[in-house]
A and B are shown apart, each in its own frame.
Chain A
Amino acid sequence: MMSLLSAAGSRRPAVRRLGFTLVELLVVIAIIGVMVGLLLPAVQAAREAARRMQCSNSQKQIALALHNYHDTHGVFPYGFKNEVAGQMKRRDTWFHQLLPFVEQTAFYEAYQNVEATYGMTAEYIHNLPVEFAGRPVATFMCASDPAGPARGGGGSDRGFQGNYAVCSGGGTPTTPVLASIPAGTVIDLTMIREDAGGVFGRQSRRGFRDCVDGTSNTLMISEGIIRGSTGGAWGELGGYWGGAPHGSYGFSTGEAPNTTVPDRVYSCKSTTFRKAPCENGNADGLPGRWNFARSYHPGGVMTALCDGSVSFISDSIDRQTWRNLGNRADGGVLGTWN
Protein backbone atom coordinates (compact mmCIF):
# COMPACT_ATOMS: atom_id res chain seq x y z
CA MET A 1 0.00 0.00 0.00
CA MET A 2 2.77 2.39 0.96
CA SER A 3 4.52 1.95 -2.34
CA LEU A 4 1.27 2.45 -4.27
CA LEU A 5 0.49 5.69 -2.43
CA SER A 6 3.96 7.05 -2.89
CA ALA A 7 3.84 6.16 -6.59
CA ALA A 8 0.57 8.07 -6.93
CA GLY A 9 1.94 11.00 -4.90
CA SER A 10 5.10 11.61 -6.84
CA ARG A 11 4.14 12.46 -10.42
CA ARG A 12 7.02 11.59 -12.65
CA PRO A 13 5.60 11.58 -16.22
CA ALA A 14 9.04 11.06 -17.75
CA VAL A 15 9.50 7.59 -16.22
CA ARG A 16 6.53 5.50 -17.35
CA ARG A 17 7.01 1.79 -17.00
CA LEU A 18 5.45 -0.44 -19.64
CA GLY A 19 4.90 -4.18 -19.05
CA PHE A 20 5.43 -6.24 -15.90
CA THR A 21 8.37 -6.98 -13.71
CA LEU A 22 9.62 -10.54 -13.37
CA VAL A 23 8.32 -10.72 -9.81
CA GLU A 24 4.79 -9.73 -10.82
CA LEU A 25 4.80 -12.38 -13.54
CA LEU A 26 6.01 -15.03 -11.10
CA VAL A 27 3.26 -14.16 -8.66
CA VAL A 28 0.58 -14.40 -11.35
CA ILE A 29 1.94 -17.76 -12.52
CA ALA A 30 2.01 -19.03 -8.95
CA ILE A 31 -1.61 -18.00 -8.42
CA ILE A 32 -2.68 -19.70 -11.68
CA GLY A 33 -0.77 -22.79 -10.56
CA VAL A 34 -2.66 -22.92 -7.31
CA MET A 35 -6.01 -22.47 -9.07
CA VAL A 36 -5.25 -25.31 -11.52
CA GLY A 37 -4.03 -27.46 -8.67
CA LEU A 38 -7.33 -26.90 -6.91
CA LEU A 39 -9.33 -27.54 -10.07
CA LEU A 40 -7.68 -30.69 -11.47
CA PRO A 41 -8.87 -33.18 -8.83
CA ALA A 42 -12.35 -31.72 -9.23
CA VAL A 43 -12.22 -32.34 -12.98
CA GLN A 44 -11.20 -35.96 -12.42
CA ALA A 45 -13.98 -36.36 -9.87
CA ALA A 46 -16.45 -34.91 -12.37
CA ARG A 47 -15.32 -37.46 -14.95
CA GLU A 48 -15.90 -40.30 -12.48
CA ALA A 49 -19.29 -38.84 -11.58
CA ALA A 50 -20.19 -38.91 -15.28
CA ARG A 51 -19.11 -42.54 -15.61
CA ARG A 52 -21.15 -43.38 -12.53
CA MET A 53 -24.21 -41.77 -14.10
CA GLN A 54 -23.65 -43.85 -17.21
CA CYS A 55 -23.43 -46.94 -15.02
CA SER A 56 -26.61 -45.99 -13.24
CA ASN A 57 -28.29 -45.58 -16.63
CA SER A 58 -27.18 -49.07 -17.72
CA GLN A 59 -28.57 -50.58 -14.55
CA LYS A 60 -31.81 -48.70 -15.02
CA GLN A 61 -32.09 -50.14 -18.52
CA ILE A 62 -31.41 -53.69 -17.31
CA ALA A 63 -33.93 -53.20 -14.49
CA LEU A 64 -36.58 -51.99 -16.98
CA ALA A 65 -35.71 -54.90 -19.28
CA LEU A 66 -36.32 -57.29 -16.37
CA HIS A 67 -39.66 -55.57 -15.72
CA ASN A 68 -40.60 -55.95 -19.38
CA TYR A 69 -39.55 -59.58 -19.27
CA HIS A 70 -41.81 -60.01 -16.25
CA ASP A 71 -44.67 -58.34 -18.12
CA THR A 72 -44.21 -60.76 -21.01
CA HIS A 73 -43.57 -63.98 -19.11
CA GLY A 74 -45.20 -63.32 -15.76
CA VAL A 75 -41.95 -64.09 -13.96
CA PHE A 76 -38.31 -62.94 -13.85
CA PRO A 77 -35.83 -65.00 -15.88
CA TYR A 78 -33.85 -67.68 -14.09
CA GLY A 79 -30.40 -66.80 -12.78
CA PHE A 80 -29.09 -69.68 -14.87
CA LYS A 81 -30.53 -72.78 -16.44
CA ASN A 82 -30.33 -76.15 -14.78
CA GLU A 83 -27.99 -78.39 -16.74
CA VAL A 84 -29.65 -81.42 -18.25
CA ALA A 85 -27.55 -83.99 -20.12
CA GLY A 86 -28.34 -84.04 -23.82
CA GLN A 87 -29.92 -80.56 -23.87
CA MET A 88 -28.43 -77.86 -26.03
CA LYS A 89 -27.31 -74.40 -24.84
CA ARG A 90 -26.32 -75.67 -21.41
CA ARG A 91 -25.40 -72.95 -18.86
CA ASP A 92 -27.74 -70.41 -20.43
CA THR A 93 -28.36 -67.40 -18.12
CA TRP A 94 -30.63 -64.42 -17.50
CA PHE A 95 -28.29 -62.38 -19.73
CA HIS A 96 -29.31 -64.37 -22.80
CA GLN A 97 -32.98 -64.34 -21.86
CA LEU A 98 -32.86 -60.56 -21.49
CA LEU A 99 -31.29 -59.79 -24.89
CA PRO A 100 -34.59 -59.10 -26.73
CA PHE A 101 -35.51 -56.61 -24.02
CA VAL A 102 -32.35 -54.51 -24.40
CA GLU A 103 -32.80 -54.08 -28.15
CA GLN A 104 -30.61 -57.07 -29.06
CA THR A 105 -33.38 -58.97 -30.82
CA ALA A 106 -31.25 -59.88 -33.84
CA PHE A 107 -28.51 -61.26 -31.63
CA TYR A 108 -31.11 -63.19 -29.64
CA GLU A 109 -32.60 -64.69 -32.83
CA ALA A 110 -29.12 -65.78 -33.90
CA TYR A 111 -28.62 -67.27 -30.45
CA GLN A 112 -31.90 -69.15 -30.71
CA ASN A 113 -30.71 -70.76 -33.94
CA VAL A 114 -27.20 -71.37 -32.71
CA GLU A 115 -27.54 -75.18 -32.90
CA ALA A 116 -28.27 -75.00 -36.62
CA THR A 117 -25.20 -72.79 -37.15
CA TYR A 118 -22.65 -74.46 -34.90
CA GLY A 119 -23.94 -78.02 -34.40
CA MET A 120 -22.71 -79.86 -31.33
CA THR A 121 -20.48 -76.93 -30.34
CA ALA A 122 -23.67 -75.37 -29.05
CA GLU A 123 -24.19 -78.05 -26.39
CA TYR A 124 -22.23 -75.85 -23.96
CA ILE A 125 -22.48 -72.13 -24.66
CA HIS A 126 -18.86 -71.58 -23.58
CA ASN A 127 -17.74 -73.62 -26.60
CA LEU A 128 -19.28 -71.15 -29.05
CA PRO A 129 -16.66 -69.27 -31.10
CA VAL A 130 -15.43 -65.84 -30.17
CA GLU A 131 -17.12 -64.25 -33.23
CA PHE A 132 -20.42 -65.17 -31.67
CA ALA A 133 -20.01 -65.31 -27.90
CA GLY A 134 -17.37 -62.60 -27.70
CA ARG A 135 -19.70 -59.90 -28.96
CA PRO A 136 -19.74 -57.11 -26.34
CA VAL A 137 -23.14 -55.79 -25.36
CA ALA A 138 -22.68 -52.19 -24.25
CA THR A 139 -25.64 -52.17 -21.84
CA PHE A 140 -23.86 -54.75 -19.69
CA MET A 141 -20.61 -52.80 -19.36
CA CYS A 142 -19.78 -50.23 -16.68
CA ALA A 143 -17.82 -47.25 -18.00
CA SER A 144 -15.78 -47.02 -14.80
CA ASP A 145 -14.22 -50.45 -15.34
CA PRO A 146 -11.11 -50.11 -17.52
CA ALA A 147 -11.20 -53.84 -18.35
CA GLY A 148 -14.20 -53.48 -20.67
CA PRO A 149 -14.91 -54.75 -23.27
CA ALA A 150 -13.68 -57.90 -21.58
CA ARG A 151 -13.82 -61.61 -22.22
CA GLY A 152 -13.59 -64.50 -19.80
CA GLY A 153 -15.26 -65.98 -16.76
CA GLY A 154 -16.41 -68.98 -18.83
CA GLY A 155 -13.22 -70.99 -19.01
CA SER A 156 -11.70 -69.25 -22.04
CA ASP A 157 -11.37 -65.85 -23.66
CA ARG A 158 -14.16 -66.59 -26.14
CA GLY A 159 -17.16 -65.33 -24.21
CA PHE A 160 -18.05 -61.72 -23.40
CA GLN A 161 -17.71 -60.73 -19.74
CA GLY A 162 -19.88 -57.91 -18.43
CA ASN A 163 -20.09 -55.95 -15.18
CA TYR A 164 -23.65 -56.60 -14.11
CA ALA A 165 -25.09 -59.50 -12.18
CA VAL A 166 -28.40 -60.41 -10.62
CA CYS A 167 -28.87 -60.76 -6.87
CA SER A 168 -28.76 -64.29 -5.51
CA GLY A 169 -29.38 -63.09 -1.97
CA GLY A 170 -27.53 -62.84 1.31
CA GLY A 171 -27.35 -66.54 2.10
CA THR A 172 -29.27 -68.72 4.51
CA PRO A 173 -30.32 -68.50 7.27
CA THR A 174 -31.44 -64.94 6.60
CA THR A 175 -31.45 -64.05 10.30
CA PRO A 176 -28.44 -62.25 11.79
CA VAL A 177 -25.65 -64.61 12.72
CA LEU A 178 -22.72 -63.11 14.52
CA ALA A 179 -19.46 -64.96 14.42
CA SER A 180 -20.53 -66.15 17.86
CA ILE A 181 -18.46 -68.23 20.22
CA PRO A 182 -18.98 -71.13 20.52
CA ALA A 183 -19.84 -71.18 16.86
CA GLY A 184 -23.31 -72.48 16.17
CA THR A 185 -25.03 -71.60 12.95
CA VAL A 186 -22.92 -70.75 9.93
CA ILE A 187 -24.30 -68.60 7.13
CA ASP A 188 -24.26 -70.46 3.82
CA LEU A 189 -23.66 -67.96 1.01
CA THR A 190 -23.49 -70.45 -1.87
CA MET A 191 -25.03 -68.86 -4.93
CA ILE A 192 -25.10 -71.90 -7.20
CA ARG A 193 -28.37 -73.28 -5.91
CA GLU A 194 -32.06 -72.72 -6.45
CA ASP A 195 -32.55 -70.35 -3.55
CA ALA A 196 -29.90 -68.43 -1.62
CA GLY A 197 -32.49 -66.00 -0.27
CA GLY A 198 -32.66 -63.58 -3.21
CA VAL A 199 -34.78 -63.32 -6.32
CA PHE A 200 -32.45 -65.21 -8.68
CA GLY A 201 -30.91 -68.67 -8.57
CA ARG A 202 -30.52 -71.91 -10.46
CA GLN A 203 -33.67 -72.47 -12.55
CA SER A 204 -35.43 -69.89 -10.38
CA ARG A 205 -38.93 -68.81 -11.37
CA ARG A 206 -39.67 -65.91 -9.11
CA GLY A 207 -41.61 -62.75 -9.77
CA PHE A 208 -42.79 -59.60 -8.05
CA ARG A 209 -45.10 -61.59 -5.77
CA ASP A 210 -42.05 -63.37 -4.34
CA CYS A 211 -40.57 -60.08 -3.14
CA VAL A 212 -42.43 -60.39 0.13
CA ASP A 213 -40.28 -57.70 1.76
CA GLY A 214 -41.52 -55.29 -0.90
CA THR A 215 -39.94 -54.51 -4.25
CA SER A 216 -38.40 -51.33 -2.82
CA ASN A 217 -36.60 -53.39 -0.19
CA THR A 218 -35.21 -56.13 -2.39
CA LEU A 219 -32.15 -55.93 -4.61
CA MET A 220 -32.24 -57.02 -8.22
CA ILE A 221 -28.97 -55.96 -9.89
CA SER A 222 -25.54 -54.75 -8.92
CA GLU A 223 -22.07 -54.66 -10.41
CA GLY A 224 -18.67 -56.27 -10.14
CA ILE A 225 -15.05 -55.67 -11.05
CA ILE A 226 -13.59 -57.55 -14.03
CA ARG A 227 -10.09 -58.81 -13.19
CA GLY A 228 -8.48 -57.90 -16.50
CA SER A 229 -9.75 -57.98 -20.08
CA THR A 230 -8.61 -61.56 -20.68
CA GLY A 231 -7.56 -64.54 -18.63
CA GLY A 232 -10.21 -67.27 -18.89
CA ALA A 233 -11.20 -68.54 -15.41
CA TRP A 234 -14.50 -70.12 -14.40
CA GLY A 235 -17.19 -68.27 -12.53
CA GLU A 236 -15.96 -64.68 -12.24
CA LEU A 237 -18.81 -62.20 -12.06
CA GLY A 238 -20.24 -61.34 -15.49
CA GLY A 239 -18.87 -64.41 -17.30
CA TYR A 240 -22.23 -65.01 -18.94
CA TRP A 241 -20.92 -67.55 -21.46
CA GLY A 242 -20.47 -70.71 -19.42
CA GLY A 243 -19.41 -69.56 -15.97
CA ALA A 244 -22.90 -69.44 -14.47
CA PRO A 245 -22.82 -72.77 -12.54
CA HIS A 246 -19.52 -71.62 -11.01
CA GLY A 247 -21.00 -68.34 -9.78
CA SER A 248 -20.68 -65.80 -12.58
CA TYR A 249 -24.39 -65.16 -13.10
CA GLY A 250 -24.93 -63.26 -9.88
CA PHE A 251 -23.67 -61.55 -6.78
CA SER A 252 -24.14 -62.34 -3.12
CA THR A 253 -24.98 -59.79 -0.43
CA GLY A 254 -23.19 -61.91 2.15
CA GLU A 255 -20.52 -59.24 2.58
CA ALA A 256 -20.79 -55.47 2.28
CA PRO A 257 -19.91 -53.92 -1.12
CA ASN A 258 -16.22 -53.67 -2.03
CA THR A 259 -15.26 -55.98 0.82
CA THR A 260 -11.70 -57.20 1.27
CA VAL A 261 -13.14 -60.69 1.78
CA PRO A 262 -12.31 -62.59 -1.42
CA ASP A 263 -14.88 -63.77 -3.96
CA ARG A 264 -14.89 -67.55 -4.18
CA VAL A 265 -15.42 -69.06 -7.62
CA TYR A 266 -14.19 -72.19 -9.40
CA SER A 267 -11.06 -70.42 -10.64
CA CYS A 268 -9.93 -66.76 -10.72
CA LYS A 269 -8.24 -64.63 -13.37
CA SER A 270 -6.22 -63.20 -10.50
CA THR A 271 -6.36 -63.92 -6.77
CA THR A 272 -4.88 -60.61 -5.66
CA PHE A 273 -6.50 -58.10 -8.06
CA ARG A 274 -6.69 -54.59 -6.62
CA LYS A 275 -10.06 -53.95 -4.91
CA ALA A 276 -11.23 -57.45 -5.91
CA PRO A 277 -9.48 -60.38 -4.17
CA CYS A 278 -10.56 -63.84 -5.26
CA GLU A 279 -10.16 -67.46 -4.11
CA ASN A 280 -9.74 -70.49 -6.36
CA GLY A 281 -12.60 -72.57 -4.94
CA ASN A 282 -11.62 -75.73 -6.77
CA ALA A 283 -7.84 -75.67 -6.43
CA ASP A 284 -8.11 -74.61 -2.78
CA GLY A 285 -10.79 -77.19 -2.00
CA LEU A 286 -13.19 -74.58 -0.58
CA PRO A 287 -16.95 -75.18 -0.47
CA GLY A 288 -19.46 -72.66 -1.82
CA ARG A 289 -19.25 -70.19 -4.70
CA TRP A 290 -19.92 -66.47 -4.51
CA ASN A 291 -19.14 -63.04 -5.94
CA PHE A 292 -19.59 -59.86 -3.96
CA ALA A 293 -20.69 -56.48 -5.34
CA ARG A 294 -17.68 -54.34 -6.27
CA SER A 295 -17.00 -51.23 -8.31
CA TYR A 296 -14.51 -48.49 -9.10
CA HIS A 297 -16.97 -45.80 -8.00
CA PRO A 298 -15.47 -44.20 -4.89
CA GLY A 299 -17.07 -45.48 -1.70
CA GLY A 300 -19.75 -47.86 -2.89
CA VAL A 301 -21.64 -49.61 -5.68
CA MET A 302 -24.62 -48.83 -7.88
CA THR A 303 -27.58 -51.13 -7.42
CA ALA A 304 -31.04 -51.53 -8.89
CA LEU A 305 -33.91 -52.61 -6.68
CA CYS A 306 -36.82 -54.79 -7.77
CA ASP A 307 -39.02 -51.70 -8.11
CA GLY A 308 -36.68 -50.51 -10.87
CA SER A 309 -35.09 -47.67 -8.90
CA VAL A 310 -31.32 -47.30 -9.06
CA SER A 311 -29.38 -46.18 -6.02
CA PHE A 312 -25.82 -45.85 -4.81
CA ILE A 313 -25.06 -47.95 -1.74
CA SER A 314 -22.11 -47.12 0.48
CA ASP A 315 -19.43 -49.62 1.46
CA SER A 316 -20.09 -48.78 5.10
CA ILE A 317 -23.62 -50.22 5.06
CA ASP A 318 -24.22 -52.66 7.93
CA ARG A 319 -23.67 -56.23 6.84
CA GLN A 320 -27.08 -57.38 8.07
CA THR A 321 -28.88 -54.45 6.38
CA TRP A 322 -27.15 -55.36 3.12
CA ARG A 323 -28.10 -59.03 3.58
CA ASN A 324 -31.71 -58.01 4.26
CA LEU A 325 -31.69 -55.95 1.07
CA GLY A 326 -30.50 -58.97 -0.89
CA ASN A 327 -32.97 -61.38 0.67
CA ARG A 328 -36.49 -61.14 -0.68
CA ALA A 329 -38.42 -62.52 2.30
CA ASP A 330 -36.35 -62.08 5.45
CA GLY A 331 -38.91 -59.92 7.26
CA GLY A 332 -36.11 -57.83 8.73
CA VAL A 333 -36.71 -54.12 9.23
CA LEU A 334 -34.14 -52.22 7.19
CA GLY A 335 -31.96 -49.69 8.94
CA THR A 336 -30.89 -46.56 7.09
CA TRP A 337 -29.12 -47.58 3.94
CA ASN A 338 -29.27 -44.76 1.39
Chain B
Amino acid sequence: MSIKNVLLVFALCGGSLTWMGCGGDSDGLQELTGRVTYNGEPVPEGRIQFRSLNEGQHAYAGVIQDGQYTVRIAPGPAAVEIRASRLIPGKYDESNPGEQVPVGEMYIPEKYNSRTELQVRIDESTVTEDFALEGKP
Protein backbone atom coordinates (compact mmCIF):
# COMPACT_ATOMS: atom_id res chain seq x y z
CA MET B 1 0.00 0.00 0.00
CA SER B 2 1.54 3.24 -1.11
CA ILE B 3 1.51 6.43 0.93
CA LYS B 4 -0.85 7.89 -1.69
CA ASN B 5 -3.53 5.29 -0.94
CA VAL B 6 -3.19 5.87 2.79
CA LEU B 7 -3.66 9.58 2.29
CA LEU B 8 -6.70 8.89 0.15
CA VAL B 9 -8.29 6.71 2.88
CA PHE B 10 -7.65 9.41 5.48
CA ALA B 11 -9.09 12.06 3.23
CA LEU B 12 -12.24 9.96 2.72
CA CYS B 13 -12.64 9.36 6.45
CA GLY B 14 -12.12 13.02 7.27
CA GLY B 15 -14.46 14.07 4.51
CA SER B 16 -17.26 11.77 5.64
CA LEU B 17 -16.90 12.94 9.26
CA THR B 18 -17.06 16.57 8.19
CA TRP B 19 -20.10 15.86 6.06
CA MET B 20 -21.81 14.17 9.01
CA GLY B 21 -21.23 17.22 11.15
CA CYS B 22 -22.95 19.45 8.65
CA GLY B 23 -26.51 18.33 9.34
CA GLY B 24 -27.69 21.93 9.50
CA ASP B 25 -31.12 23.23 10.45
CA SER B 26 -33.85 21.78 8.33
CA ASP B 27 -36.84 23.34 10.11
CA GLY B 28 -37.16 26.07 7.46
CA LEU B 29 -36.99 28.83 10.06
CA GLN B 30 -34.86 31.93 9.84
CA GLU B 31 -33.61 34.34 12.44
CA LEU B 32 -35.29 37.72 12.77
CA THR B 33 -34.13 40.48 15.09
CA GLY B 34 -35.27 43.99 15.75
CA ARG B 35 -35.98 46.86 18.09
CA VAL B 36 -39.23 47.54 19.94
CA THR B 37 -39.92 50.99 21.34
CA TYR B 38 -42.93 52.32 23.25
CA ASN B 39 -43.41 56.09 22.98
CA GLY B 40 -39.84 56.34 21.76
CA GLU B 41 -38.32 54.43 24.70
CA PRO B 42 -36.98 50.87 24.27
CA VAL B 43 -39.28 48.31 25.92
CA PRO B 44 -37.24 47.02 28.89
CA GLU B 45 -38.86 43.57 29.13
CA GLY B 46 -41.62 41.98 27.14
CA ARG B 47 -42.71 39.36 24.64
CA ILE B 48 -43.23 39.47 20.90
CA GLN B 49 -45.20 36.98 18.87
CA PHE B 50 -45.64 36.53 15.12
CA ARG B 51 -48.69 34.55 14.02
CA SER B 52 -48.40 33.28 10.47
CA LEU B 53 -51.34 34.25 8.28
CA ASN B 54 -50.61 31.25 6.07
CA GLU B 55 -52.57 28.03 6.37
CA GLY B 56 -50.75 26.38 9.29
CA GLN B 57 -51.25 29.47 11.49
CA HIS B 58 -48.15 28.68 13.50
CA ALA B 59 -46.94 31.26 15.97
CA TYR B 60 -43.31 32.20 16.67
CA ALA B 61 -42.55 34.01 19.88
CA GLY B 62 -39.54 35.54 21.55
CA VAL B 63 -38.42 37.66 24.47
CA ILE B 64 -37.85 41.42 24.31
CA GLN B 65 -34.92 42.52 26.45
CA ASP B 66 -33.80 46.17 26.57
CA GLY B 67 -35.77 46.88 23.43
CA GLN B 68 -34.19 44.06 21.41
CA TYR B 69 -35.73 40.79 20.32
CA THR B 70 -34.68 37.69 18.37
CA VAL B 71 -37.07 35.04 17.07
CA ARG B 72 -36.81 32.06 14.76
CA ILE B 73 -39.60 32.41 12.24
CA ALA B 74 -40.95 31.02 8.99
CA PRO B 75 -41.17 33.51 6.13
CA GLY B 76 -44.57 34.83 5.06
CA PRO B 77 -47.22 37.30 6.21
CA ALA B 78 -47.69 37.47 9.98
CA ALA B 79 -49.77 39.30 12.56
CA VAL B 80 -47.63 40.67 15.38
CA GLU B 81 -48.50 40.78 19.08
CA ILE B 82 -46.36 42.67 21.57
CA ARG B 83 -46.79 42.56 25.35
CA ALA B 84 -44.95 44.21 28.21
CA SER B 85 -45.87 44.50 31.85
CA ARG B 86 -44.98 46.36 35.02
CA LEU B 87 -45.97 45.92 38.64
CA ILE B 88 -48.75 48.06 40.08
CA PRO B 89 -47.38 49.64 43.26
CA GLY B 90 -49.34 48.72 46.36
CA LYS B 91 -51.59 46.15 44.67
CA TYR B 92 -51.51 42.54 45.85
CA ASP B 93 -53.22 39.29 45.02
CA GLU B 94 -54.26 36.76 47.66
CA SER B 95 -55.91 34.02 45.64
CA ASN B 96 -53.64 31.53 47.37
CA PRO B 97 -54.42 31.58 51.09
CA GLY B 98 -51.76 33.28 53.17
CA GLU B 99 -49.72 34.47 50.19
CA GLN B 100 -49.58 38.14 49.25
CA VAL B 101 -48.12 38.55 45.79
CA PRO B 102 -47.65 41.83 43.88
CA VAL B 103 -49.91 42.17 40.84
CA GLY B 104 -48.81 43.64 37.54
CA GLU B 105 -50.49 45.23 34.57
CA MET B 106 -49.92 44.92 30.85
CA TYR B 107 -49.41 48.46 29.60
CA ILE B 108 -49.20 48.04 25.81
CA PRO B 109 -52.54 48.93 24.11
CA GLU B 110 -54.55 45.96 22.86
CA LYS B 111 -54.33 47.13 19.25
CA TYR B 112 -50.75 45.81 19.49
CA ASN B 113 -51.61 42.45 21.09
CA SER B 114 -54.96 40.75 21.74
CA ARG B 115 -56.68 42.79 19.00
CA THR B 116 -53.59 43.45 16.97
CA GLU B 117 -53.52 45.68 13.93
CA LEU B 118 -49.81 45.11 13.33
CA GLN B 119 -49.00 43.04 10.30
CA VAL B 120 -45.69 42.37 8.60
CA ARG B 121 -44.44 40.35 5.72
CA ILE B 122 -41.28 38.40 6.39
CA ASP B 123 -39.35 37.60 3.23
CA GLU B 124 -36.53 35.12 3.06
CA SER B 125 -34.16 38.09 2.92
CA THR B 126 -35.69 39.92 5.91
CA VAL B 127 -33.33 39.95 8.88
CA THR B 128 -34.58 42.93 10.90
CA GLU B 129 -38.02 44.34 11.65
CA ASP B 130 -38.46 47.26 14.05
CA PHE B 131 -41.65 48.28 15.83
CA ALA B 132 -42.37 51.75 17.19
CA LEU B 133 -45.47 51.60 19.38
CA GLU B 134 -47.44 54.61 20.59
CA GLY B 135 -49.87 54.82 23.48
CA LYS B 136 -50.60 56.30 26.85
CA PRO B 137 -47.38 56.81 28.81
Q: Are A277 and B55 in contact (CB under 8 A)?
A: no
In order of increasing CB-CB distance, the 9 nearest A-B pairs are: A179-B79, A284-B85, A183-B115, A285-B105, A319-B57, A285-B104, A179-B51, A260-B61, A261-B61
Is A267's CB under 8 angstroms from B101's CB? yes
| Cβ of A80 to closest chain B Cβ, rounded Å | 14
Q: Give the distance to chain A from B94, nearest Cβ to Cβ, in Å.
A: 11
**In the assembled complex, A164 has its CB within 8 A of some CB on chain B:** no
The answer, yes or no, to whether A255 is at the interface (CB within 8 Å) is yes
A/B interface sample: 19 pairs, CB < 8 A: A27-B9, A27-B10, A34-B16, A155-B99, A234-B96, A242-B96, A245-B95, A259-B61, A260-B61, A266-B95, A267-B101, A283-B102, A283-B104, A285-B106, A286-B85, A316-B58, A318-B55, A319-B57, A320-B57
Cβ 8 A contact of A260, one of B55, B60, B102: B60
Scan residues 48-91 of chain B and give those whose CB is less than 8 A from a CB of chain A.
49, 51, 53, 55-63, 71-72, 79, 81, 83, 85, 87-88
CB of B123 within 8 A of chain A? Answer: no
Check if B39 is an interface residue, CB within 8 A of chain A.
no
* A155: B residues at CB distance < 8 A: 96, 99
- Chain A proximity of B88: nearest CB distance (Å): 7
Q: Is B97 in contact with A124, judged by CB distance below 8 angstroms?
A: yes
Q: Which residues of B contact A (CB under 8 A)?
A: 1-3, 6, 9-10, 13, 16-17, 20, 47, 49, 51, 53, 55-63, 71-72, 79, 81, 83, 85, 87-88, 93, 95-97, 99, 101-106, 111, 114-117, 119
- A284 vs B46: C-alpha distance in the bound complex, in angstroms? 10
Contact A260/B101 with A182-B117, A286-B83 known, Cβ cut-off 8 Å: no
- Residues on B with C-beta less than 8 A from A282 are 93, 101, 103-104
Known: A260-B61, A261-B61, A318-B57. A34 touches B17 (CB 8 A): yes
**With A34-B16, A155-B96, A183-B116: A285-B59 Cβ-Cβ less than 8 Å:** no
- Which residues on the B side are within 8 Å of A37 (C-beta)? 17, 20
* Interface residue from A23, A182, A283 paired with B101 (Cβ < 8 Å): A283
With an 8 A cutoff between CB atoms, is A104 at the interface?
Answer: no
Q: Tell me the smallest distance from the CB of A285 to a CB of chain B, in Å.
A: 4
Whether the Cβ atoms of A284 and B104 lie closer than 8 Å is: yes
Interface residues of A in 238-291 (CB under 8 A from B): 242, 245, 255-256, 259-262, 266-267, 272, 277, 279-280, 282-286
Q: Roughly how many angstroms separate A255 CA and B61 CA in the complex, as a whole number? A: 11
Q: Quick one: closest A residue to B23, CB to CB?
A: A41
* A146 at interface, CB cutoff 8 A: no
Task: List residues of chain B with CB within 8 A of the CB of A178.
Answer: 53, 57, 79
With A3-B2, A279-B47, A285-B88 already in contact, the answer to whether A262 and B61 are too (CB < 8 A) is yes
Supposing A27-B6, A124-B97, A179-B53 touch, asked if A285 and B116 sit within 8 A by C-beta, the answer is no
Cα(A52)–Cα(B64), bound, Å: 34
Whether B6 and A261, one on each chain, are in contact in the complex, defined by CB atoms closer than 8 angstroms, is no
- Taking the closest CB of chain B, its distance from the CB of A133, in whole angstroms, is 15
- 9 further A-B contacts with Cβ under 8 Å, apart from A23-B1, A27-B9, A27-B10, are A31-B13, A155-B99, A178-B79, A183-B117, A260-B62, A282-B104, A283-B101, A286-B83, A316-B58
Q: Which residues of A contact B87 (CB under 8 A)?
A: 283
CA distance A318 to B6 in the complex (A): 52
CB distance from B91 to the nearest CB of A (A): 9
Chain B residue at minimum C-beta to C-beta distance from A91: B96
User: A109–B15 Cα gap in the complex (Å)?
Assistant: 64
Q: Cβ of A46 < 8 Å from any Cβ of B?
A: no
Task: Convert A186-229 into 0s and 1s, putting 1 for each residue whose CB lies closer than 8 angstroms to a CB of B.
Answer: 10000000000000000000000000000000000000000000
* Least CB separation from A29: chain B residue: B13
Contact of B9 among A3, A30, A38, A267 (CB under 8 A): A30
